Structure 1
Amino acid sequence: KTLLLFADAIILMFISRKFPSFGDKTPLSRSEKRTFFSGVTALLALQIVVSVIYKPQMFSRSFDRQTVVKNLGLYTYHLFDITLQSKSSAERVFASGDGFSEIKNYTDSKDKRVDKNLFGAAKGKNVILISMESTQSFVINKKINGKEITPFLNEFIKDSFYFDNFYHQTGQGKTSDAEFIVENSLYPLDRGSVFFTHATNEYTATPEQLKKYGYSSAVFHSNDKTFWNRDVMYPALGYDRYFNLNDYAGTEQMSVGWGLKDKEFFEQSIPKLKSLPQPFYTKFITLTNHFPFLLNPEDQYVDEFNSESGVVNRYFPTVRYTDEALKLFIKQLKEEGLYDNSVIVIYGDHYGISENHNAAMAQFLGKDTITPFDSMQLQRVPLIIHVPGQEGKVVSKVSGQIDIKPTLLHLLGIKTNKSVEFGTDLFIKEKDPLMVMRDGSFVSEEYVYTKNMCYKRSTGEEADMTLCQPYIEKAKTELKLSDKLIYGDLLRFDPNNRYKTGTMTTKFE
């Protein structure tokens, strides 16, 4: 395949030798050169324009390099990639330590307190993060056709901390945004994915920080290593090992939709998990509950919903399947002696049902229609934190993915008072918590702001915009400062950024 990239050059060399006149080296005139380069530029521009017209989301969703290359062509893709990297490099060059100081002063002013009863409650324990693909909170403790959608999770939360007002905060980067937010306590960018545009930045991500405390780290995901540019970004986050598609055995019967079924994925991951030095920090990314939510009949534990939306109908069986896969995974952790020595964090990465399916969602929720306020409530995703030795509790604090990092570090007994983070510990009682979405929408203790409308959170009734205005300004400030930090690669100026990492091991064959 690599040789094919040079096939045109080889053919041209053959032709020039066979037909000497073909390689006429008569110099081009200035006008001919101008015409030639103008023509090439025009053709490249035309190709990009046509690609945008027929594939309008290709650039904003450039998570799969192979797909982008297929649509643009190899050479045009490289020009596109060079343009993006040049823009990022320019912003980095003109950034300074003064910009970092501004951001540090702001994050230092945030509530850095710890919960005295839970700080260090999991000191020295392993960490197992599970990213649940497209899972939203409306399925928790709900039934379809008389059957529970998430019977295992419904039981698991009884022995865990369950956050029922927890929101995803992702943008165009979807799953990669969720990973970035959770492990850095920074906001995603307003365009594209940080995993692509700023994978060479310096970060102080959780896996990198935990190296100082003797933790090994690994990601488990049965997908192509280049998807979302993970093979480049994970080393920047401090990961030691990436178990990707090349590490898993798969057959047609074992796979569905985007890859290996979750049951197979977890089962094959257990031996790999056992091989890691302890304590470890690990992340598992599920796949079965991925759009368009396909599942073989023999794997369905509940029937499809009955609405005009096939997407909504198929969503419930795939959620139920992932729930069953989690049940088996937790059972295996117990059998291998890992359960009682591990903090387990299960979170939904982003929404699964878009607003295009509001009519079907209204039917499921028993509503006449889905209002903007309702849509905001549907952005809630599950967050479950199981800490060995701790009793279960429902925490209703307004929160988001940006709060996971400081919460987890505090459970491990690690202070974050010097860290640059926009999140706060989920267990402390803040005076007025605020969850900010990438588009500037927010949820506070009393108000919800979305689509230029202000609502009372307790009733969903419209409220005067002046009541939301102070939070709107605060949301803008947080997003602006987080963007500035990423675009300028400002964490390189952080004197506390001393957790330097080595090379991540990835199976490439």
Structure 2
Amino acid sequence: MKKLNQKTYFLLMIILFFVLNLLNRLVITTELFNPGMNLFKGNLQTTLNSFMGDSGLLVILITIFYFIAKKKRTFIYLVTLTTIGLSVMIFSLKVYAFYYGTAFSFFNARTFSNSAPVLGQQLTFHLWKNLFITAQYVAVIPAIIVFVLAIMELKNRYLHQERLDKTKPQMMRVLNFFVVGLILFSWSQIGYFTEIKNTYYESNRVAQKGVQTMGVYNYYINDLVSFVFTKPEPILADEELNENIDIYVNEKTENCPKNYLGEATCNDLMTSSIFEGKTIVMLQMESFNNYLLNLSFDVDGEIHEVMPYFNQLLKEESTVYYNNFYSNIGVGKTSDAEFASLTGLSPMGFIVTYFDYVNEYFETLPKLFTDKGYETYTVFGSTYNFYRRNEVYPMLGFNKDNNQNMESLEALGLYDPLTETVNGWVDDPVAFEYVTNVLKDGDHKKFVFALSTVLHTPYADVEWMTGINPWENLIKGDLGNYLDYAHRFDQVFEDWYEGLKEEALLDDVVFVMYGDHTGGLTMDDLRQLDPNINLFSYQQYSHNVPFMILAPGMDLSNYGVDRTMTRGQTDLKRTISNLFGLDEKYHFGVDILSGAKTWTYNAITMDLFSDDFHINMPNESININDYDPTLLEEYIQKFYHQKEMNDSILRYHYFKLINEANK
């Protein structure tokens, strides 16, 4: 590199500090670097506001460096290290967004407290690999550039002893720049809080909204300060909000609550109590996307199904299957799917529900079954404290003595960590064996809540499972491995279910089965299945999970309406309560087998699904051309009202307060 004079080099480093770090923020805020992510609708005002916020913070930093450094060498060190730090921050935020589909917030930092070292190692490698494959490495380019320049030019001795100009006129100029930076920094924050005033986002911290409106660096300074110094959330909402929550909840106690169209949603009387007194196995299937079903490939003229046994079950008269069923998860993923299914309430989306908002006062399926004389059981293939399940399950109403996990399954002699661990999880046949033992144990009524675990990203190569199926030359990368994992799960489930048949354990058992959340494949992965995929269809593929009821020995073909109607996990509690004759008081969601219309939403991406439309809430766009903008705005407002009521029930511990007030 040609040697630069002092002034040119010094000025170049300052310019690069501003330009590179301002450009790098686009990696977080633009669609180009975030395919498949629901970014918030922007305009010139929000773009300028974000630019001012980050520019102001960078000006503040550069002036602080000037104030505290005595020599130019020290100043260059500070500029270089800060740029490297900001690049690492941007790349780390990309890792988080790649997995969770939204921006990080310090308020959900507890997400990382789950103890799963093998999963953590594999996910880190997997996410880093995919970020580089998708050219997200641009996030570290600023760090590389300034580091190289610093190393090359700091070898020049003229910088070693060169002092900064600390004369009064110069320091006044630097001070003026500091004031300008402070004004831009503050103005951006004022602009953000002005924009969200009297909206859902005023009382609900959504990092992606803040990042895009306030600026990346600016927002995270604000977020960190708020996280450190904000007092715990108030126990009580304000009077007006409390009244609105009361109205919302009281309406859910009516026999036929209204849907978004204002229509009554009643339970299906034909299916009322048809499973009363039967044992129920509620199986939540890890990362099971609906597109896996009825998926096949023609290889050399021969058709190969990915999940042939499940495909067979879907055709049986004892099966009810809905193919337009959606997950309602937030950053809690699997645990949020559990919460939605067991309570009928949606998770907030940006905070892990099991960490902050669960208490013993929710009406839940295990409590309702216990009231009917059922014994409750749970089994999952992770450590006992993963997502705090050891504490949460008893609060939700499960018998804590029947709570089986990685440690207890080993203690029971059902699990050998050396031979029955896949990707850090207990292999699914172990959990299924425990359920079999429960079904054999006596003739009392049972509610078994079981989680499959192995079909979970990342889909690492496993010698005996991946790379051995006929589609390996057709489907590449993570999608190919995902299909291999799914094929193996299909075989494991077949062995278990057929074994239950042979042992005559299915006569009085009903299976309610559903996927918990997306398999985590990228748009590029899914283009191998759908070359025309776009943001709307990608979110549909991602959040569409299967729902099915298996009732061996019963003919369910005459029950239910159109089985393509939109449904979600928050509809499970009401549906199961009706099918099993439980005394449910709060009717959140709809009865899946009824003819009632509903909408359902994913709490983290805020995609709203219905029979008639799919709305991307952050971008305020709909998948229908020439749609009435007035009607679209009406639905958007109804959605935010529903979400505000749902989230307030959690945030302000509504049912706990009601319980205490009634004592």
TM range, normalised to the smaller chain?
0.7 to 0.9
Matched, 1:468 2:648: no
Is the contact made by 1:407 and 1:426 (CA closer than 8 Å) also made in structure 2? yes
**Given the alignment, which residue of 518, 536, 539 partners 1:376?**
539
Measure the CA separation in 1 of the matches of 2:555 and 2:660.
Answer: 32
Measure the CA separation in 2 of the matches of 1:286 and 1:225.
Answer: 15
Matched, 1:405 2:569: no
Q: 1:257 to 1:480 in 2, by over 3 A?
A: same
- Secondary structure of the 1:211 match is helix
- Secondary structure of the 1:340 match is coil
Q: 1:116 to 1:102 in 2, by over 3 A?
A: closer
**Given the alignment, which residue of 365, 374, 382 partners 1:206?**
365
Matched, 1:147 2:304: yes
Matched, 1:282 2:442: no
One-letter identity of the residue aligned with 2:406: L
Tell me what 1:360 maps to.
Answer: 525
Is the contact made by 1:167 and 1:400 (CA closer than 8 Å) also made in structure 2? yes
Q: 1:86 to 1:427 in 2, by over 3 A?
A: farther
Measure the CA separation in 2 of the matches of 1:164 and 1:68.
Answer: 32
Tell which structure's C-alpha radius of gyration is larger.
Answer: 2
Q: 1:104 to 1:264 in 2, by over 3 A?
A: closer
Is the contact made by 1:256 and 1:295 (CA closer than 8 Å) also made in structure 2? no
Tell me what 1:74 maps to.
Answer: none
Give the superposition deviation at 1:359. 2.0
Matched, 1:492 2:656: yes
Measure the CA separation in 2 of the matches of 1:494 and 1:390.
Answer: 42
Is the contact made by 1:208 and 1:237 (CA closer than 8 Å) also made in structure 2? yes
Identity %: 22
Is the contact made by 1:182 and 1:405 (CA closer than 8 Å) also made in structure 2? yes
Tell me what 1:247 maps to.
Answer: 408
Give the superposition deviation at 1:297. 2.9
Measure the CA separation in 2 of the matches of 1:182 and 1:210.
Answer: 14
Flag the structure with more relative contact order, 1 or 2, with Cα contacts below 8 A and sequence separation at least 6: 1
Matched, 1:133 2:286: yes
- Secondary structure of the 1:130 match is strand
- Secondary structure of the 1:235 match is helix
One-letter identity of the residue aligned with 1:371: N
Give the superposition deviation at 1:332. 2.8
Q: Deviating runs (4+, > 6 A) in structure 1?
A: 49-54, 83-88, 495-498
TM-score when scaled to structure 1?
0.76
**Given the alignment, which residue of 637, 641, 649 partners 1:477?**
641
Give the superposition deviation at 1:482. 0.6
**Given the alignment, which residue of 264, 276, 294 partners 1:123?**
276
Q: 1:247 to 1:234 in 2, by over 3 A?
A: same
Is the contact made by 1:163 and 1:395 (CA closer than 8 Å) also made in structure 2? yes
Measure the CA separation in 2 of the matches of 1:276 and 1:462.
Answer: 60
Measure the CA separation in 2 of the matches of 1:397 and 1:295.
Answer: 37
Is the contact made by 2:478 and 2:525 (CA closer than 8 Å) also made in structure 1? no
Measure the CA separation in 2 of the matches of 1:134 and 1:363.
Answer: 19
Tell me what 1:188 maps to.
Answer: 347
Measure the CA separation in 2 of the matches of 1:133 and 1:297.
Answer: 21
Give the superposition deviation at 1:474. 1.9
Is the contact made by 1:348 and 1:383 (CA closer than 8 Å) also made in structure 2? yes
Is the contact made by 1:165 and 1:399 (CA closer than 8 Å) also made in structure 2? yes
- Secondary structure of the 2:527 match is helix
One-letter identity of the residue aligned with 1:195: Y
Deviations, residues 233-259 of structure 1 (Å, cap 9, x unaligned): 111100002101112222333211131
- Secondary structure of the 2:315 match is helix
Measure the CA separation in 1 of the matches of 2:473 and 2:647.
Answer: 43
CA RMSD of aligned residues (A): 3.4
**TM alignment of 1:27-426, pairs within 5 A:** 56=93, 57=96, 60=108, 62-63=110-111, 65=113, 90-93=233-236, 98=243, 100-107=245-252, 108=254, 109-110=257-258, 111-144=264-297, 145=299, 146-159=303-316, 160-200=319-359, 202-240=361-399, 241-248=402-409, 249-275=415-441, 278-294=444-460, 296-300=462-466, 302-303=469-470, 305-306=472-473, 310-354=477-521, 357-365=522-530, 367=531, 369-378=532-541, 379-388=543-552, 389-392=554-557, 395-416=563-584, 418-419=585-586, 421-426=587-592
One-letter identity of the residue aligned with 1:281: F
Aligned pair count reads: 431
- Secondary structure of the 2:271 match is coil
